[in-house]
Structure 1
Amino acid sequence: MEDSSRVSERGAGWACQTIGTFEKLRPGRSTFTWLRPSTLWRSRNEILARWLGDPSPEVRRRWAAAQRERGADPDFRIPVEAGEEFSFLLLGDSGEGDASQYAVVPGLLKIGQGTSFAIIASDVIYPTGSANEYCDKFFRPYKDYLAPIYAVPGNHDWYDGLGGFMRVFCDAPPLTAERRGFRLSPAGLRGLLWKKPDRVDEAALARAREMRGLPEQRGRHGRWAVQPASYWVLDTGGLLIVGIDTGIDGRLDREQGEWLRRVSAGPLPKILVTGKPIYVDNAHHPCPIEGGGTVDDVVRDPANRYVAAIGGDVHNYQRYPVRVGDRTIQYIVSGGGGAFTHATHTIPRVDVGGVEEDEFRCYPLRGDSLSFYSLLYSRRLHLRGLYVTPEEAVALMSRAIGNTPPRPAGDIRTTARMRWAARLLGGWPMPFHLPVGRFFHRWISELSDWDTPPFFKSFLHISVYGDRLRVRCHAATGCLRQEIAPPIEDEVEIPL
């Protein structure tokens, strides 16, 4: 892992002398923001789903039925002619369309040369998954990636009723509107307030599609529809990659659950790709299935031969090697593909699922995460004493967690000022701390300039060779040095 954040501050991107070439790829200087009232109103469906019930499972069933009527494979299986040895890319939560997304692109293109396909795991388009925003948030950034891109939707893609996602990835026409009279009920009120899919500007979409218009980018037979539905099975011959649609609330409807159990049976090794990670932030989220059971029950069943489960939604990288019987399943979070980075320094000492702290991996390192947030808050609040240097932060977090420092930190003496800053930023237990998690991302992050490296973004390069599978997490900092040679922040080999 030469020149990675586990080796030096320079490897982490802190000593960024030259900003990368990604700036030339951006279509403009705009920065994604949640602070516009119109953006918040367009994103209302998640709140409505929590308060008044989530209609996504019913809508998903309608999409699936419509696709089968159009001739899609009943099991939504996608044959891929990749050969016995091949590789592919995987990234999650990519589509903000600003500097943090485009900073990933140069390294991704370099590492992705010769890969057979790429997968986006969750939140292809922010804020609401509209088909009218795919130009600068999907087609333009990946126009030079010369292979198909598949995707599973995230909660933000569902804010558009999945209309944009299905139009772009499945070439599906809009669903026929259901005519229902108003009912004095939570569902009736939800129907009045629910955001409907945007009307697609077909001419603009056609122009955008030409950016990825080469036959090798379109999928099998050069068609626009690269996948049959929002959940699918990539069949490479020796490995199955199963993508599931977790909707807004992270659950599977009964029909998709039955499908998952059906396609998971059999002796071929499998990887699960999901919009919501099963292990994240030292917690277990098994993903309930309507009618009983969980997605993790399917993954853990030895007869199904799952070797890894990879999910997006949380905007960083984490890996939990969980022992299940006599085997180890790698549970991975890969949500660093473009959206603002979620903190890792708030993750407590890891003990979930029998995973020990020194087996756990994350990127950014907890220390870099703490230093990053301390720098941002110190600038916004004009509190110079709140800033903790990367070296100080690595030492602080190592002592707070009780682990071996993941990067040499020198002989750092922790002061009262440093401990106060760490507690205020959530690095050490405290009843109250400044918001650094999802609340920060949604409501406060746009008050600062996020267009300056290091970004601490990441993507996965996954290789299949012989009887083994290798997963590498590559960093994207926004610095030219890391663009030329994207650092490897984590690597694991999995027997097949």
Structure 2
Amino acid sequence: MLAQTGVRAAISSIIGKQADRRLLDALAAPKVEPFDFSLDAEGKPRKELWLDYVADLGDGWDSTYAVAQTVSRPTLTLRDETGAAYDTLGGEVLVFGGDEVYPTASVKEYQARTLQPWSSAMRGQRPPPHLFAIPGNHDWYDGLVSFIRLFCQGRNPDGWQTHQRRSYFAVKLPQGWWLLGTDMQLESDLDQPQVTYFQEIAKRIRAEDRVILCLAEPAWLMAQVRPPDSRAYLENNLTFLEDEVLGKKISVFLAGDLHHYRRHANDEGRQKIIAGGGGAFLHPTHVPRKEVALPDGFTARKCFPSTQESRRLCWRNLGLAVSSPRFGVLTGLLYVLLAWALSVNIGTASVPKALALVVGTALASPGIVLISALVILGLIAFADARFGRWRWVVGVLHGVVHLVAAFLIAWGVAHLMGSALGLSFRNPVRELLAAVLIFAGGFVAGPTIMGLYLLVSLNGFGTHANEAFSSLSIPDWKNFLRLHITPDGHLWLFPIGIRRVPRAWKPGETAREPEWVADPKDTRATPPTLIEPPIVV
């Protein structure tokens, strides 16, 4: 799967630069009309409307289904940290905010990872919502083909009502509110037809109207948490869209891509919210280590999990052999390969003499030199680009530690074979037993060294945020947003979090229940709560 994902990512990046699917879709749907939800089915003005926003879904079953089931409930009573209770309604409009499937897009993956859990959760709950979606980078890995087929061709999968004909959209909401969704593609680029589309939409937005803007990536924070590379273009595009097309009418910015909840706000009441907790693994919230001030006075207000909890979770990397046993198999085989390539008796020598013997043998063996060089070069390439000019030093040190660990394990096993068990060098039983013991040592030492490297890198230097937490595959700390446009014209934002998702499920017993419900025996699962009190805009 990793190899296939890498190949598809490379191909989609090349194709995305040469043949932009959005240009073809713009030609197929030239009409620029917003979808009007300011009126009800009878054509009367709506006084209020409920919406749900979910991003970064379609990954693990437990996490994706827990969020889908919570969103699907007709009503949801939520309490904040003060104990205050709020009654909310399931959104008539559902917005998917990017990365609707992992790791790569295809009809099969959308069906298995997105449609099945959501249709199972919505069964018998409430009328299917009107669905709008924007693509993230994972949706673009097949050139946007599957995304367009599912969300932009008038299909109604499992009863969802789809309306958009492009990978971006504009929706007119009650009380002078607008919902806009953009598609920045893999190159973090706004294509000209999309700019033209939003320029036409901007002509229909009155001076007193306000906008909710959905982005696949949080442009305001990306340069601080990931290597800058093309992210500068993303920020420039957002600035262009805000300043030149929509003006300062954007009251709420919504984004996913980072798999946690984080909110910034300014004194004017404008909000920038990351809510990427729809189902994918958790991302840390304690990066950047020191946040650079954002433009227009935006400051950090809340994150979920807290930065202290995020730091604590990072320590789980020391148990990488348990959480990622297949990685332990890889390092175990690598250590055995290094010891086998040496093929020298070091069991009776002291550590310094054994090391000198190994170095001499290694220098005379092109195979060992090649394997060692590949290990070090691979770890240099793995080192986070945010290390800057120290990247080579970090990669070399990381590689040398693995090589030293392999040597010490091989020496210890050889010493045990010769001194304790009295097995002679080249004895077949000794060779087999030594291979098993070296593999076991590599199974534990390799992931532990890697886990320590990730722990120090993230908690000490603010690097490797993606690798350090993706290796942990934490399904908990999920979140989504529920929005309510009230009759008085205000927008209420309810950030909903699930601290620990259920791990056990049982079939729903009635037609009014989802296909699967949480098993009461799973007592560690927690109910959905408000991450912070509602935000009123």
Structure 1: distance between partners of 2:166 and 2:8: 24
Q: For each residue in 1:45-93, what CA deviation from the matched residue of structure 2 results, as whole angstroms up to 9, or x when unmatched?
A: 35547xxx7235x32111121133xxxxx22521224622121110111
Structure 1: distance between partners of 2:297 and 2:454: 23
Q: For each residue in 1:370-404, what CA deviation from the matched residue of structure 2 results, as whole angstroms up to 9, or x when unmatched?
A: 2222124335389xxxxxxxxxxxxxxxxxxxxxx
AA paired with 1:62?
Answer: L
Structure 1: distance between partners of 2:298 and 2:192: 36
Structure 2: distance between partners of 1:155 and 1:422: 24
Task: Report the counterpart of residue 45 of structure 1 in structure 2.
Answer: 11
1:93-242 alignment runs, 5 A limit: 93-110=56-73, 111=76, 113-143=89-119, 144-145=121-122, 146-171=128-153, 212-213=158-159, 217-218=160-161, 225-237=162-174, 238-242=176-180
Task: Report the counterpart of residue 462 of structure 1 in structure 2.
Answer: 483
Task: Report the counterpart of residue 336 of structure 1 in structure 2.
Answer: 277
TM-score, structure 1 normalization: 0.63
Q: 1:377 aligns with which of 306, 318, 327?
A: 318
Note the C-alpha offset of 1:339.
0.9
Question: Is the 2:25–2:165 Cα contact (8 Å) retained in structure 1?
Answer: no
Note the C-alpha offset of 1:124.
0.9
Note the C-alpha offset of 1:341.
1.2
AA paired with 1:63?
Answer: D
Question: Is the 2:279–2:478 Cα contact (8 Å) retained in structure 1?
Answer: yes
Question: Is the 1:463–1:471 Cα contact (8 Å) retained in structure 2?
Answer: yes
1:71-90 alignment runs, 5 A limit: 74-80=31-37, 81=39, 83-90=46-53
Structure 2: distance between partners of 1:462 and 1:379: 39
AA paired with 1:230?
Answer: S
SS of the aligned residue for 2:458 comes to: coil
Structure 1 window deviating more from structure 2 (350-359 vs 464-473): it is 350-359
Structure 2: distance between partners of 1:311 and 1:122: 8
Structure 2: distance between partners of 1:150 and 1:170: 9
Q: Which has the larger radius of gyration?
A: 2
Distance 1:300-1:47 versus aligned 2 partners, 3 A rule: closer
Distance 1:381-1:48 versus aligned 2 partners, 3 A rule: farther
AA paired with 1:44?
Answer: A
SS of the aligned residue for 1:314 comes to: coil
Aligned length: 355
Question: Is the 2:52–2:480 Cα contact (8 Å) retained in structure 1?
Answer: yes
Q: 1:427 aligns with which of 459, 482, 503?
A: 459
Structure 2: distance between partners of 1:86 and 1:481: 35
Question: Is the 2:171–2:178 Cα contact (8 Å) retained in structure 1?
Answer: yes
Q: For each residue in 1:436-488, what CA deviation from the matched residue of structure 2 results, as whole angstroms up to 9, or x when unmatched?
A: x23446xx62xx5x37x6x1111011111112111121112205679774111
- The alignment-based identity, stated in percent, is 22
Note the C-alpha offset of 1:152.
0.3
1:27-42 alignment runs, 5 A limit: 34-35=1-2, 37-42=3-8
Structure 1: distance between partners of 2:98 and 2:288: 21
Question: Is the 1:341–1:456 Cα contact (8 Å) retained in structure 2?
Answer: yes
Structure 2: distance between partners of 1:308 and 1:482: 35
Q: 2:191 aligns with which of 246, 250, 253?
A: 253
Structure 2: distance between partners of 1:493 and 1:103: 24
Which ranges in structure 2 are unaligned for 5 or more consecutive residues? 41-45, 77-87, 123-127, 324-451, 503-521
Q: Which runs of 4+ in 1 moved over 6 A?
A: 284-290, 355-358, 420-423, 480-484
Structure 1: distance between partners of 2:322 and 2:113: 32
Question: Is the 1:282–1:351 Cα contact (8 Å) retained in structure 2?
Answer: no
Structure 1: distance between partners of 2:302 and 2:453: 24
Structure 1: distance between partners of 2:296 and 2:309: 22
SS of the aligned residue for 1:142 comes to: helix
Structure 2: distance between partners of 1:281 and 1:232: 23
Question: Is the 1:154–1:275 Cα contact (8 Å) retained in structure 2?
Answer: yes
SS of the aligned residue for 1:159 comes to: helix
AA paired with 2:482?
Answer: H
Task: Report the counterpart of residue 318 of structure 1 in structure 2.
Answer: 262
Distance 1:459-1:260 versus aligned 2 partners, 3 A rule: same
Distance 1:482-1:85 versus aligned 2 partners, 3 A rule: farther
Structure 1: distance between partners of 2:526 and 2:146: 34
1:258-273 alignment runs, 5 A limit: 258-265=196-203, 266-267=205-206, 268-273=209-214
Task: Report the counterpart of residue 501 of structure 2 in structure 1.
Answer: 478
AA paired with 1:263?
Answer: I
Distance 1:488-1:348 versus aligned 2 partners, 3 A rule: same
Structure 1 window deviating more from structure 2 (280-289 vs 358-367): it is 280-289
Distance 1:487-1:345 versus aligned 2 partners, 3 A rule: same
SS of the aligned residue for 1:141 comes to: helix
More helix by share: 2
SS of the aligned residue for 1:115 comes to: coil
Distance 1:61-1:481 versus aligned 2 partners, 3 A rule: farther
Note the C-alpha offset of 1:40.
2.8
- Which structure is higher in RCO with an 8 Å CA cutoff and minimum separation 6? 1
Structure 2: distance between partners of 1:482 and 1:300: 48
SS of the aligned residue for 2:179 comes to: strand
SS of the aligned residue for 1:245 comes to: coil
Note the C-alpha offset of 1:425.
5.0
Distance 1:287-1:243 versus aligned 2 partners, 3 A rule: farther
Structure 2: distance between partners of 1:113 and 1:136: 28
Question: Is the 1:315–1:342 Cα contact (8 Å) retained in structure 2?
Answer: yes
